[in-house]
Homo-oligomer: A and B are copies of this chain.
């Protein structure tokens, strides 16, 4: 029996096992579930042990990490598979069709908290290696599992954990399945994430709120000044005016542009999904380019003066804004924040004082698109899904991917088996049963394909 035949034959059993895993209420945010977290870590650990992989439950300072290592040979690459066994809280409970931890099947879906995020997805990778160990007797590649318990509470303990266990976690490539395909029957490989740089700026005028009647017209109003400064950061077409902002911005390759055109993207559907009356964006680029390969500047918050009901006739002492910029290769947060600072100082009038709090950020991430890892992943998806994958990017950052890159020097393959409407973080979280099984098969195929890459 081949590994893929094994998976096919055991589909019903695999689903039952996933249901067992989904029954454990491993909500990392809630202390009442502390014991359930341990139960869940043990469940994963026991599963690895039963496969013949020696597991370790490792302290992190928070909920533990389940680590497992399978060594095939010194001559093949090592893949580090990341996942998380913790889940989101379940509120509001009354909107669920079933108990969040009483998985049911409905219309081809399995419904339960954690079904797609991330139990169903990381468990597919346990099934992948199982299919080799139970048929061939060995896997074609070295595999390390890092299944954490704090992804839904921001993985604060994970970067120091990775730093501390650098040697133990050594690998050639990271594999994460914790996201979505491009759509139903549209498996995808995400090969890039934008970075981010964050700052808070504060403009101060008078040393206290002044009466806008007595003083209005003779002193600078910090809100008006801040608005003028924000307006100068960007033209009305979304082009950012900070000196040197675009200097290190890479140009999407012809290969990338080709991938964009292959995607069945419906701008009107997309607009509707944003709830905006009209899309916006830098001239000369499509919405996918706006969010995937172009940098941005967005105010995330602004505050100043009186915000209660009615009017209060003051010139406020200060106004402030929170700003984040999304970065694309080869921009870096430090450089961009320095440029923002220099520009703001240049345009700030001398009637106010300016404070800038540079809050750091994360580098953009891009897996080499002409490298063997992407090719291998694409072949595996073809095997697992029976379809060519789409190549996609993501406009946001995934901090853990940045940590793997910075601490371990590793690129990450993002191969999500879920869908965007799987209700992750919402009531009635679900996972297409077919996506689960295709994920298991893709995982098995990935072990094979990745093993062939010359690391």
How far apart are A323's CB and chain B's nearest CB, in angstroms?
A: 9
Interface 9-mer from A114-122, A125-133, A247-255, A278-286 = A278-286
Assembled-state Cα–Cα distance A306/B353 (Å):
23
Is A275 engaged at the interface, CB distance under 8 Å to the other chain?
yes
Considering the complex, which residues of chain A in the window 178-231 have a beta carbon less than 8 Å from any beta carbon of chain B? 194, 196, 198, 200, 205-208, 210-221, 223-224, 226-228, 230-231
Question: Knowing A300-B212, A305-B302 touch, does A274 contact B218 (C-beta < 8 A)?
Answer: yes
Assembled-state Cα–Cα distance A324/B315 (Å):
10
Assembled-state Cα–Cα distance A105/B319 (Å):
43
A217 CB contacts on chain B under 8 angstroms = 238, 281-282, 290-291, 294-296, 326, 395
Question: Knowing A216-B291, A236-B349, A396-B313 touch, does A223 contact B274 (C-beta < 8 A)?
Answer: no
The residue from B213, B214, B231, B277 contacting A350, defined by CB atoms under 8 A apart: B277
The answer to whether B303 touches A307 (Cβ under 8 A) is yes
The residue from B206, B276, B290, B305 contacting A300, defined by CB atoms under 8 A apart: B305
Q: Looking across the interface, which residue of chain B has its beta carbon closest to that of A289?
A: B217
Assembled-state Cα–Cα distance A274/B207 (Å):
7
Is A366 engaged at the interface, CB distance under 8 Å to the other chain?
no
Assembled-state Cα–Cα distance A219/B281 (Å):
7
How far apart are A198's CB and chain B's nearest CB, in angstroms?
A: 4
Assembled-state Cα–Cα distance A233/B397 (Å):
36
Q: Looking across the interface, which residue of chain B has its beta carbon closest to that of A315?
A: B298
Number of copies: 2
The answer to whether A279 touches B219 (Cβ under 8 A) is yes
How far apart are A212's CB and chain B's nearest CB, in angstroms?
A: 5
A196 CB contacts on chain B under 8 angstroms = 213, 313
Considering the complex, which residues of chain A in the window 226-274 have a beta carbon less than 8 Å from any beta carbon of chain B? 226-228, 230-234, 236, 238, 270, 274
Question: Knowing A230-B227, A277-B352, A324-B313 touch, does A216 contact B303 (C-beta < 8 A)?
Answer: no
How far apart are A328's CB and chain B's nearest CB, in angstroms?
A: 10
Is A321 engaged at the interface, CB distance under 8 Å to the other chain?
yes
A215 CB contacts on chain B under 8 angstroms = 274, 291, 395
The answer to whether B302 touches A227 (Cβ under 8 A) is yes
Is A351 engaged at the interface, CB distance under 8 Å to the other chain?
yes
Assembled-state Cα–Cα distance A373/B233 (Å):
54
Q: Looking across the interface, which residue of chain B has its beta carbon closest to that of A285?
A: B217
The answer to whether A300 touches B291 (Cβ under 8 A) is no
A residues adjacent to B (C-beta < 8 A): 194, 196, 198, 200, 205-208, 210-221, 223-224, 226-228, 230-234, 236, 238, 270, 274-282, 287, 290-291, 294-307, 310-317, 319, 321-322, 324, 326, 349-353, 359, 394-397
